[in-house]
Amino acid sequence: MGELEWQCRLGADLMTTALVDPAPPSPPWRPWGRLRRWLALAGFSGRWAVILPPLLWLLVFFLVPLVVVIKIGFSASIVGQPPYLPLLTFSPQGDVQMTLHLSNFIFLAQDHLYLDAYLSSLKIAAISTVLALFIGYPMAYFIARSPDRLRNMLLMLVILPFWSSFLLRVYAWIGLLKNNGVINNFLGLFHIGPFTLLYTDFAVYLGIVYTYLPFMILPLYTNLVKLDGALLEASADLGAKPFRTFLSVTLPLSLPGIVAGSMLVFIPAIGEYVIPQLLGGPSTLMIGRVLWDEFFTNRDWPVASAVAIAMLVAVVAPLLFLQRAQNAVVER
């Protein structure tokens, strides 16, 4: 009944408006509105104005480059500009012929250099990550347990080096580690040494740990600062010694922080170029360095691309695995 009444009144309103405005003004010409309607008809709404710029940018400058790398990785190398043969060739009859050269990959598999470089990168990254964890964990724990004022200051001190140049901080170690460098001069005062520190694997570990230590400390800190002090007290009340409490309460609870921090160190360390180049010896093999030399020194673009593809497969695959492991840990 009420609905009927409402409809009647609506009808009356419509009639009155029709009577009051005998000549409605012509609708303003709005090209944008019409364009929008057309776009909407084509399944295109305003949100695409937000989505499209980053999407297109990434398609052109991220996805297409990877396709180009894969393409060149399968091309034969020649001496010339550009130094590779095209994949697709057009015969005079108009047929398209595609030649995939696996030679670059066979070369990679046969030459021990590449596998060794990959394994050695994994080893160096893993050892550095463990070292960074051993130094970073106590620091993060200490910062998380400090009073507010001190905590903010210490945190800032951890972040500060990150804002200054990475290259210059690696450079600083050259001056410290050289044969007549600061450390050897200092040890010389006590008639110890001199030791060969620079251009060794040791220097590379040191450089990686030094560079990525803040990346280890920060996620650990955000995790440890959330730790409920009551749990520690409860454990102590139940008679556990501090070390026992640490092993069975703090450590398991901080596992997500450990995984996050380790990944932030491990991932960039694998592909590292600058640190092994500046601090490592000629025998320090790392895959990033091999790719660089292949490209800039040997000017062999196809082999460099093949190394990049192998690196993508070999680095991205373990990372996906790690990512899944991390998600599992976080969910638990």
Q: How far is the CB of 117 from other proteins (least distance, A)?
A: 12
Span between the terminal Cα atoms of the chain, in Å: 58
DSSP letter for each residue of 179-216: TTSHHHHHHHHTT------TTSHHHHHHHHHHHHHHHH
Task: Name which of 177, 130, 132, 129 is nearest 158 in CA terms.
Answer: 132
> Which x/- pattern, by CB under 8 A, does the window 7-36 give for other proteins?
------------------------------
| Contact call for residue 321 and other proteins (CB under 8 A) | no
| Contact call for residue 275 and other proteins (CB under 8 A) | no
Q: How far apart are CA 174 and CA 181, in angstroms?
A: 8
**Number of residues counted as binding other proteins (CB under 8 A):** 77
Question: Which one of 167, 192, 231, 234 is in contact with other proteins (CB under 8 A)?
Answer: 167
Q: How far apart are CA 231 and CA 250, in angstroms?
A: 9
Contact 129, 262 (CB under 8 A): yes
**Cβ closer to other proteins: 6 or 48?**
48
Question: Which one of 126, 139, 227, 240 is in contact with other proteins (CB under 8 A)?
Answer: 139
Q: How far is the CB of 134 from other proteins (least distance, A)?
A: 9
**Cβ closer to other proteins: 185 or 200?**
185
Residue ranges in 38-77 that form contacts with other proteins under rule CB under 8 A: 46-48, 50-51, 53-55, 57-59, 61-66, 68-69, 72
From 98-106, 173-181, 188-196, 229-237, span contacting other proteins (CB under 8 A): 173-181
| Contact call for residue 149 and other proteins (CB under 8 A) | no
| Contact call for residue 138 and other proteins (CB under 8 A) | yes
Q: How far apart are CA 139 and CA 162, in angstroms?
A: 16
Q: How far is the CB of 49 from other proteins (least distance, A)?
A: 9
Helix (H, G, I), strand (E, B) or coil at 96: strand
Backbone angles phi, psi at 45, to 5 degrees: -115, 180
Token pair of 244, please?
Answer: 């026992």
Tell me the CB-side half-sphere exposure of residue 105, using CA atoms within 13 A. Answer: 14
**Cβ closer to other proteins: 62 or 190?**
62
**Cβ closer to other proteins: 26 or 283?**
283
Q: How far is the CB of 1 from other proteins (least distance, A)?
A: 32
Contact 96, 313 (CB under 8 A): no
| Contact call for residue 176 and other proteins (CB under 8 A) | yes
Q: How far apart are CA 24 and CA 4, in angstroms?
A: 28
Q: Where are the alpha helices (DSSP H) in 254-300?
A: 255-270, 274-279, 287-292
From 4-12, 16-24, 29-37, 273-281, span contacting other proteins (CB under 8 A): 273-281
Question: Which one of 166, 327, 328, 330 is in contact with other proteins (CB under 8 A)?
Answer: 166
Token pair of 173, please?
Answer: 């170690």
Contact 275, 107 (CB under 8 A): no
Residues pairing with 77 in the sheet = 84
From 25-33, 102-110, 157-165, 187-195, span contacting other proteins (CB under 8 A): 157-165
> Which x/- pattern, by CB under 8 A, does the window 219-258 give for other proteins?
-----------------------xx---------------
From 34-42, 112-120, 171-179, 227-235, span contacting other proteins (CB under 8 A): 171-179
Question: Which one of 97, 165, 283, 297 is in contact with other proteins (CB under 8 A)?
Answer: 165
Give the residue carrying structure tokens 């012929």: 97
| Contact call for residue 82 and other proteins (CB under 8 A) | yes
Contact 220, 137 (CB under 8 A): yes
